[in-house]
């Protein structure tokens, strides 16, 4: 599960990443934002996140652009989630604006449908 989020230390992102802990047993969770490695380390330590928080800091937003979820005007990713299979094929995705949280129930259904 590849999860793009706008910025660390923000309210909606905190809530989403905290909720995503529940899926670590069902899927490999990778999260991505344009924050630096140092910001990610501080946030992971503060929140107790054990899954990888990946930096798309430089080249700025390149990975988010590759997945079509980079907001050029704001300089950060939208809330894009991609569930990939073992071969790297996208099996399910959802993209929400930066200010709109994703529905955890959608993840549960998507993972059940793919399994």
pLDDT in tens, 60-96: 999 999 999 999 999 999 999 999 998 999 999 999 9
Alpha-carbon distance values, 25 to 7, 9, 34, 63 (Å): 25, 24, 26, 25
13 labelled catalytic? yes
- pLDDT of residue 115 exceeding 80, the answer is no
Domain parsing of the chain, residue ranges: 2-114
What does the pLDDT read at residue 100? 93
Q: pLDDT tens digits, residue range 11-53?
A: 899 999 999 888 888 889 999 999 999 999 999 999 999 999 9
**Residue 81, burial from CB neighbour count under 10 angstroms (0-12, 13-18, 19+):** buried
Q: How far apart are CA 46 and CA 91, in angstroms?
A: 32
**Active-site choice (1, 13, 20, 76):** 13
Domain 2-114 CATH (choose: 3.30.930.10, 3.40.30.10, 3.30.420.40, 3.40.1710.10):
3.40.30.10
Give the contacts of 97 (CB within 8 A, at least 6 positions apart).
Answer: 78, 79
pLDDT confidence bin for 111, thresholds 50/70/90: confident
3-state secondary structure of 31: strand
């Amino acid at each position: 599960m590849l999860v793009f989020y706008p910025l660390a230390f923000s309210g909606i992102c905190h809530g989403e990443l905290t909720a995503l802990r529940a899926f670590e047993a069902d899927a490999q969770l990778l999260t991505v934002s344009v924050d630096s490695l140092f910001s990610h380390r501080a946030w992971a330590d503060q929140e107790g996140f054990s899954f990888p928080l990946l930096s798309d800091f430089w080249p700025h937003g390149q990975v988010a652009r590759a997945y079509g979820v980079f907001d050029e005007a704001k300089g950060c990713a939208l809330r894009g989630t991609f569930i990939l299979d073992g071969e790297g094929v996208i099996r399910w995705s959802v993209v929400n604006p930066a200010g709109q949280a994703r529905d955890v129930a959608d993840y549960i259904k998507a993972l059940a449908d793919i399994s």
